Structure 1
Amino acid sequence: MILENVPTIVEIKKAIPKRCFEKSMNLSFYYVLRDISYAFSSYMILLGLEGCIENSYVLIKAGVYIGYWILQGTIFAGIFCLGHDCGHGSFSNNGILNDTVGNILHTFILAPYYPWKLSHRVHHKNTNNIDKDEVFYPIRENQDNPRKKDSLLKNLPFFAFGFGWFGYVVKGYGPNGRNISHLNPINKHFKGIVGFDL
């Protein structure tokens, strides 16, 4: 199906008011304080509930903790997104402030900010490149599916809850040769990078 009269990216950008592209440091910090207060409040609620469920059935305790993990995980995803915006420079007009806030936010949720920022830059540079993108890699029809050869755990959806992120940070994700470790300073993506380049 061929679509006719589809606007170009330039036409779409021209149709969006300029104010939508302006960075607001006040609004950015509002989101940071809001998400941190959500994380703190949900933890305080859990502490309050622990006293109430101390003598409860195991299933009730499990339900409370699972609910907390899901809620806190969702809040942490929001905090990650704020750090992501810092990495893209859309948090504020000040690069040092962006990196400082991004580093603090990502440290809070155990995400290595600077290595992630570098690998994310590589990801954007290679978006839609079937041979170079280390995050999204479709399988060609005439190619063996490496996902079938991966371990069973890596393919189970529940693996991502709790363990998947740490696996991605330590080993990376993708076929051999394209996965990157965010903790290995001699990884090919970090070659030639020194502290002040970050």
Structure 2
Amino acid sequence: MSTTTVHRINLDNPLSDNSSVSQTELPFTFQQVKAAIPSECFAPNVWRSLAYFFADAAIIAGLYAAAIAIDAWWFYPIFWFATGTMFWAFFVVGHDCGHGSFSRSKWLNNLIGHLTHIPILVPYHGWRISHRTHHQNTGNIDTDESWYPVTASEYKGMDWIGKLIRFDALLFAYPFYLFKRSPARTTASHFMPNNDLFRESETNDIITSTACWLMMVGFLGWLGFTYGFLFLFKFYIVPYLIFVVWLDLVTYLHHTEADIPWYRGKDWFFFKGALSTIDRDYGIFNDIHHNIGTHVAHHLFIGIPHYYLKTATEAIKPVLGDYYRVSSEPIWKSFFTSQKACKVVPDEGTTVYYHNQV
């Protein structure tokens, strides 16, 4: 279990942190990459952001209206997949809120963040803060928060439940992560403020989101009690599970590839670690889930709204050269290849890669 100090980097100005200054080994600087991006990409358009929120909400409402009107079992698989996918799109809108790229208004970001996250059982502030830690420590084996590698010795010490969730049932791992966190980290809940995921000053935020989450759980319990479990199963549980699959699939593939390096100790710094991600092509789903697969630019500059990520990516590709990673491989092929090849990393070494020997 790691006791390494987590990096608290100012993501709006990463170079203010000493760990980001040592970048002479890269053939370009952080400032050069940022300068290549049109300045308008860094300015959220609140009306455009709200348009995505209301459009997603309207589509979800329309799907529910159609399911109620048709009420036929042949339609429910279509409804489940479409609604679960739109839950994921809703999450991505809230993802912008968590990064402050939805708008410049903190209260509006928090409001829309809760409206997009609580209905899909994500505690907004708890997720927002732990996700910030992920961005501050990307590519660092000891301090990253999301889909970081397990070392060979850590793998041997895991119980069968941990191995099952992390390696076999990983597409359903997210709810467990919210309650328990990931392997090789101190157990912590996203619903409780008194753990090392959060600072004392963030206590009220965690309590607020947890209270909202509990109200949503209570509402779902009332639906099940009033209309029966089958009603809840048809109209919520299955779409929710499809949302979880989308979330785990996409976030896993953001950072899991055999040729993506991971770092330890002084070999890591923010700029280099942020490059340890890969862009993916989700075909017809790219626009539906707001181009979240364009992930390299997002990790370098969290302030870019999702609707400018493609523009920013095209701008930085010539600067990054071979340091820009992208895969055009079919998504499910990438997933099964990575699941098989990317098991553990060595216990020693400052720059390491996944291998499949456990």
> Shorter-normalised TM-score: what interval?
0.7 to 0.9
Residue 37 (str. 1) matches residue 58 (str. 2): yes
The 3 A distance-change label for structure 1 pair 96 and 165 is same
Amino acid in the other structure paired with 1:84? H
The 3 A distance-change label for structure 1 pair 28 and 127 is same
The 3 A distance-change label for structure 1 pair 88 and 176 is closer
Q: CA contact under 8 A between 1:135 and 1:174: conserved in structure 2? A: no
- Residue 302 of structure 2 is matched in structure 1 by none
- Aligned pair partner of 1:172 in 181, 185, 191: 181
The 3 A distance-change label for structure 1 pair 74 and 146 is farther
SS in 1 for 2:151: coil
- Aligned pair partner of 1:47 in 68, 74, 79: 68
Amino acid in the other structure paired with 1:127? T
- Aligned pair partner of 2:100 in 67, 85, 89: 89
- Residue 200 of structure 2 is matched in structure 1 by 192
Q: Distance in 1 between matches of 2:170 and 2:75?
A: 18
- Residue 307 of structure 2 is matched in structure 1 by none
Residue 144 (structure 1) shift:
4.2
Residue 189 (structure 1) shift:
1.6
Supply the RMSD in Å over aligned alpha carbons. 2.7
Deviation track 1:29-53 (CA, whole Å, cap 9, x = no partner) reads 0000000011111111111221xx3
- Aligned pair partner of 2:135 in 118, 124, 129: 124
The 3 A distance-change label for structure 1 pair 6 and 38 is farther
- Aligned pair partner of 1:10 in 20, 31, 34: 31
Q: Distance in 1 between matches of 2:66 and 2:47?
A: 28
The 3 A distance-change label for structure 1 pair 46 and 196 is closer
- Residue 58 of structure 1 is matched in structure 2 by none
Q: Distance in 2 between matches of 1:91 and 1:146?
A: 42
- Residue 283 of structure 2 is matched in structure 1 by none
Q: CA contact under 8 A between 1:153 and 1:159: conserved in structure 2? A: no
Percent identity over the alignment? 32
Q: CA contact under 8 A between 1:137 and 1:174: conserved in structure 2? A: no
The normalised TM-score by structure 1 is 0.77
- Aligned pair partner of 1:68 in 79, 83, 87: 79
The 3 A distance-change label for structure 1 pair 171 and 102 is same
- Residue 21 of structure 1 is matched in structure 2 by 42
The 3 A distance-change label for structure 1 pair 68 and 138 is same
Q: Distance in 1 between matches of 2:170 and 2:149?
A: 22
Residue 145 (str. 1) matches residue 155 (str. 2): yes
SS in 1 for 2:55: helix
Q: CA contact under 8 A between 1:79 and 1:106: conserved in structure 2? A: yes
Deviation track 1:134-184 (CA, whole Å, cap 9, x = no partner) reads 32221335x242596442652434851xxx33222222233352x531112
Higher relative contact order (CA 8 A, sep 6+): 2
Amino acid in the other structure paired with 1:182? H
